[in-house]
Amino acid sequence: MKLPRTERGRLALVLVLAAAVTVFTATVPLLRDWFDLRVYYGTVDSWIHHGGRIYDYRVPGTTYGFTYPPFAAVVMLPMALVDLHVAIAVALLLNVAALAFALRVLAGRAWRRYGWYGGALAVCGLALFEPLRDTFSFGQVNILLLALVLLDCWLLATGRERWAGVGIGLAAAIKLTPAAFIGLLLVARRGRAAAVATAVAAAATALAAWVAPDASRFYWTHAMWDTTRVGRLDYVSNQSLQGILARLDVSSRAVWAVVVVLVLAVWVARARRAVVAGDWTAAFALTGLTACLVSPITWVHHLVWLLPSFAVLVRAGRPRIAAALYAVLCTSVVWLWFDDASGVDGFLGSNTYAWITLGLLLWLPVGQSGADGSTLPRVTSDTAPAPTPAAPTIAKASGQPALPSGCTAATTGNVTGPGLGLARKASSDPTGSTRPAAPNPQSSSSPASS
């Protein structure tokens, strides 16, 4: 199929795709009704206006409450000044701005060559990406955290290391998962950046302890270790290693620890190789993949951390692989095994997103960064290749990847596979811990939480 080359043809294609995406998102995915944002808003409102305690609040009719560190609640304090509808609007604008910044970092300077047409195609593709659409629909903070972390990626890749670590530190203080990137800084032997990130996270945590001492004491001594506050480990939305084991009915912590250690060993080796090659985007992508795998709970919407991996694939000259994997992550396919994840089909199908994450960790190309966003040949040694007129010497720490055009290649093709067409039920509650299942996992408009 040839893409249109005239402006009129391109406009027609964009309009058709936009209509298809609108129909798809309005009829197929679960509609989350800003559930997580309601948790944040209700927590702050109860804390500030009604004298409640941060970790005692529950959304009416559910068992779900605030699960982030206390600093996150401090950051969300401005919500106490507005009503819920304004909070939703502000959250949408912040998520859009954070996504635009993240894409700008991942695209490098190459974004200019695609113009409005490439941007429109990218928006259509991104609107189909299940982790991303869930993040927006929940009112989640994943994209904001990704933007903070990628800020440090940009600083390191462009040699502006003075402030590197601030974004990671703030993200780690808001939610624990981004603390994995402090580990990356240590693996990369960027001691100063690691110290900055640790100091920022510690200072933010100390500020929260000063503002809400009782909540801080409760979180760090109790709530942090209680995974039941978040939801069931075996719930199909949990696409982590722990989720895979839980669906296999393997509850041994020792088995999980062994698997985690193996994954961390792979990550250290591959991340170090990426850093040696000056490929900071790949190093950050590998760390995001690893964080999703080793975290006890990784809901589907947490998989926005996979976006840098698709940018790396496209930059490395593998757009078809990127498009195929991206398309799978647009299908909501794991929900076909919501009721029953037993058997070979359940083992393979219910963990589809986790297999993609693991595969990317093992085989994501590294060492192909470029300062101008262009694709470079793979670096196979620490010795830089001799410059040529067509390929000028690139500074080692200045890699910027090409535009993640693989993000525009996802389609809304028919989903096939085991269980298709069966009457599956999906909970309107993404943790699936207490509330009854909704009649239709792909069209429910009931609220859901992570």
Does some domain include residue 417? no
Tell me how far CA of residue 14 lies from CA of 20, 117, 131, 329, in angstroms.
10, 8, 23, 21
Does some domain include residue 188? yes
Does some domain include residue 387? no
- pLDDT per residue of the chain (450 residues) written in tens, 0 to 9: 677 777 777 788 888 888 888 777 766 555 677 889 999 999 999 999 998 999 999 888 888 889 999 999 999 999 999 999 999 999 999 999 999 999 999 987 766 676 777 778 888 888 889 999 899 989 999 999 999 999 999 999 988 888 999 999 999 999 999 999 999 999 999 999 999 999 999 999 999 999 999 999 999 998 887 766 677 899 999 999 999 999 999 989 999 999 999 999 999 999 999 999 999 999 999 999 999 999 999 999 999 999 999 999 999 999 999 999 999 999 899 999 998 888 999 999 999 999 999 999 999 999 765 434 433 333 333 334 444 444 343 333 334 444 333 333 333 334 333 333 333 333 334 444 333 333 333 333 333 344
Does some domain include residue 419? no
Nearest CA to 302 among 123, 64, 138? 138
Does some domain include residue 434? no
Number of domains in the chain: 1
Does some domain include residue 309? yes
pTM, full prediction: 0.80
Tell me how far CA of residue 145 lies from CA of 101, 402, 433, in angstroms.
12, 22, 26
Domain containing 313 equals 25-209+231-380+397-411
Does some domain include residue 32? yes
Backbone φ/ψ region at 417: left (φ over 0), alpha (ψ -120 to 50), beta: left
Does some domain include residue 57? yes
Q: How far apart are the first and last CA of the chain?
A: 40
Q: Which residues pair with 388 in a beta bridge?
A: 391
